[in-house]
Amino acid sequence: MLAPKAEVGSWVSEAAREKFMAAYERAFALWPQPWEEFDVETATATTRVHAYRPHPGGEPVVLLTGAGYNAAGWYPHVAALAEDGPVYGVDMPGDPNPSILRAPLTPPASSAAWLDELLGKLSDRPAHLVGMSYGGWVAMNQAVRAPGRVASITLLDPAGLTKLDARFWWWFTISGLASLTPMPPRRRLARWLDSPAMLEQELMSLMWAGSRGYRMEPKFPGILTDDELRAIDVPVLLIAGARSAMLTPAEARARGSLMPHAEVAIVPGSHGGFDRISALNDRIAAFIKGHATGKQGAQPDAAAGN
* Residue 56, preceding peptide bond in cis (omega within 30° of 0): no
For residues 293 and 124, give the distance between their C-alpha atoms in angstroms, rounded to a whole number. Answer: 12
> Which candidate, 195, 113, 190, 152, places its Cα nearest to that of 291?
152
pLDDT computed for residue 284 by the predictor: 96
Rounded to two decimals, what is the model's pTM? 0.85
CB neighbours of residue 233 within 10 Å: 13
> Which candidate, 48, 162, 44, 182, places its Cα nearest to that of 113?
44
CB-based contacts of 294, cutoff 8 Å, min separation 6:
none
| Packing angle of the helix pair 134-145, 108-122 (nearest 10 deg) | 80
Q: Is the dihedral of CA 133, 73, 109, 103 positive or negative?
A: positive
Residues of the chain with pLDDT > 90: what percent? Answer: 61
Pairing of strands 45-52, 100-101: antiparallel
Of 174-178, 182-186, 204-208, 299-303, minimum mean pLDDT range = 299-303
Mean pLDDT, range 75-97, rounded to an integer: 95
For residues 124-149, one letter each, b for 16 or more C-beta atoms within 10 angstroms of the residue's C-beta and e for the rest, the string is bbbbbbbbbbbbbbbbbbbbbbbbeb
Q: Is the dihedral of CA 196, 50, 123, 94 positive or negative?
A: positive
In this predicted model, what pLDDT tens digit does every residue of 1-52 receive, in sequence order? Answer: 444 443 467 899 999 999 999 999 999 999 999 999 999 999 999 999 999 9
Which domains does the chain carry? 10-290 (3.40.50.1820)
Q: How far is CA 67 from the centre of its chain?
A: 8
Q: Is the dihedral of CA 6, 107, 93, 46 positive or negative?
A: negative
For residues 246 and 164, give the distance between their C-alpha atoms in angstroms, rounded to a whole number. Answer: 7
Cα-atom radius of gyration of the chain, to the nearest Å? Answer: 18
Looking at residue 162, what DSSP letter applies? S
Q: Per DSSP, what are the bridge partners of residue 88? A: 51, 62
CB-based contact 40:303 (threshold 8 Å): no
> Which candidate, 168, 159, 166, places its Cα nearest to that of 131?
159
CB-based contact 149:119 (threshold 8 Å): yes
**Would you place residue 172 in the very low, low, confident or very high pLDDT band (cuts 50, 70, 90)?**
low
Q: Is 266 exposed, middle or buried (CB count within 10 Å of its CB: 0-12, 13-18, 19+)?
A: middle
pLDDT computed for residue 182 by the predictor: 65
Mean pLDDT, range 97-120, rounded to an integer: 95
Indicate whether 301 pLDDT > 50: no
pLDDT computed for residue 299 by the predictor: 45
Mean pLDDT, range 54-80, rounded to an integer: 93
CB neighbours of residue 301 within 10 Å: 8
Number of helices (H), then strands (E), in the chain: 9, 13
CB-based contact 136:156 (threshold 8 Å): yes
